[in-house]
Amino acid sequence: MVDLWQLDATAQLELLRSRSVSSNELIEVAIERIHRLDPQIGSVVTARFDRALSDVADADESAPFRGLPMLLKDAGQELLGEPHYVGIAALRDLSNRSLRTTPLAQRFLDAGLGIVGRSTCPPFSSGVTTEPPGFAPTRNPWVLDRTAGGSSGGSAAAVAAGLVPIAHGSDATGSLRYPAAFCGLFTLKPTWGVVDAVTPSGTTDVCTVWQEYVLARSVRDLRLMWPLFTTKPLSSETVNRAARLVDGRGDGRHRFADRCRVALLRHDPIVGLAVDEQTIAAIDAVGTTLGAAGHDVRIDHPAALGVLGERRLEWAAATDVAIDAIRAQSIAWLRQILGRTATDTDVDPATLEAAQRGALLAPDAVAQALDVATQLIGPVGEWFGSADVLITPVTHQGPWHLGEREPLGVGLFAAPFSFSRQPAMSIPVGQRRDGTPIGVQLVAAHGGDSLLLALAAELETAGVARFDWPPIAHR
């Protein structure tokens, strides 16, 4: 018999609606597993167990997700009067509390979700690992001395270990996709602009890349949550509308054809770094499965990615200007809360240096830099007129050991599709010989979220894309 914690969000919701379990039972299951397993993982930075129970009790009985437990990433989305640290120990030591509830967080509460805690993230939710100074690092549930990825690493580790069925995360240049790949989960970075996203410090999304969604153990859970994340209000059609996404008609933009044009990218065309052979084998397995299902599969990729590599100094200069501006905003926000100048004991020296450069930028410098970046990245999106979906690695290699420096070029496969503002998924396709999961990225044209969900569902049904339980889940 399957225990409650092993069920995905859709199955848990079915039990709640049939009154086979109570909302308190599911919340208590999540609380018990967090108490028992999280000390080994480090995925929950602040607990709100009693508040989750009271929130669910106070929710309208018709709320579509009433009683379903989840975690909220400790960045961007806020709950009035509750802790908000954004991975910065100085804010924790100050007992910083939010002054508002953000719109998306309010929708979670209105929908009846039981937010049992806030998940760990690196400072300012920036980085490809979740090792915030002054906090316990988040450990990969598969191999505990490896990174769970970042910046949504706490959420990913919790879902993979069965603490909660789903968890909120966010992604600017890969922060949903990296931890999903490293922990063996499904996630979607939606088309930019369809989600009411908030940056970690609540400041302007300078690069227009910030997105939010959930990490899950099934594709149907990603479909289930879609209506809650879109800017359209909740309605009684929530679940039915989510279910319709499987055939590609949910967003009114794409129909999932029987025959998709699928391109496989098996190498790094940007700087030529090696991709591990097990990741290439996973991409090939996806291609073979889709080809056998009747899709048009070929080896191909946007030539513009190679051009991006040839002009990488221009690309780096442009994106560095935007990043400096973001750091300046974040440090100014932190200074306002702390009531003093931020120091290198609060954040790392590189962030402070970037913020200092950003504060000195001319008023039109960021706009000019983003114009250059848009010109460089534009042809990448235009290529999708010749293919429906591009299959790529998420990273060149698997998760590295905690405390190690991140590998060179770790973001090369994910970041371009953030700046092109296209939807992208990470799906789990087997494990490496070292016991860590392999993530494969699916990318579609702007607005093609439903197409990705449909194709991922087909791969899941075929058994190629599949969540497996890490050993720690059964302890």
Q: On the CB side of 241, how many CA atoms lie within 13 Å of its CA?
A: 17
Report the percentage of the chain scoring pLDDT > 70.
94
174: which 2 tokens?
């890969």
Give the mean pLDDT of 136-164. Answer: 98
Give the model's pLDDT for residue 255.
42
Other CB atoms within 10 A of residue 130 CB: 35
Give the mean pLDDT of 313-327. Answer: 93
Can you state the angle between helices 312-338 and 349-359, rounded to 10 degrees?
Answer: 100
Instruction: Indicate which residue of 119, 126, 175, 418 is catalytic.
Output: 175
pLDDT in tens, 155-180: 999 999 999 999 999 999 999 999 99
Give the model's pLDDT for residue 196.
84
Report yes or no: 320 and 286 within 8 Å, Cβ to Cβ: no
Other CB atoms within 10 A of residue 50 CB: 10
189 in active site: no
232 in active site: no
**Average pLDDT over all residues of the chain:** 92
Residue 85: band (very low, low, confident or very high) from pLDDT cuts 50, 70, 90: very high
Report the percentage of the chain scoring pLDDT > 90.
89
151 in active site: yes
Spacing of C-alpha 24 from chain mean position = 27
Q: Computed over its alpha carbons, how large is the radius of gyration of the chain?
A: 21
Residue 246 has pLDDT above 70, yes or no: no
The C-alpha atoms of residue 247 and residue 225 are separated, in whole angstroms, by 16
Residue 2: band (very low, low, confident or very high) from pLDDT cuts 50, 70, 90: confident
Residue 420: band (very low, low, confident or very high) from pLDDT cuts 50, 70, 90: very high
Residue 298 has pLDDT above 90, yes or no: yes
Question: Which of 233-242, 328-337, 460-469 has the lowest average pLDDT?
Answer: 233-242
Instruction: Indicate which residue of 119, 125, 126, 151 is catalytic.
Output: 151
Residue 242 has pLDDT above 70, yes or no: no
Give the mean pLDDT of 391-418. Answer: 96
The per-residue DSSP string of 115-148 comes to: EEEEE---GGG-SSS---TTSPPPBPSSSTTBB-
Give the mean pLDDT of 35-44. Answer: 98
The C-alpha atoms of residue 117 and residue 225 are separated, in whole angstroms, by 19
Residue 247 has pLDDT above 80, yes or no: no
Instruction: Indicate which residue of 73, 125, 420, 426 is catalytic.
Output: 73
- The secondary structure element, H or E, covering residue 69 is strand 69-73
Torsion of CA 244, 249, 255, 258, to 10 degrees: 10
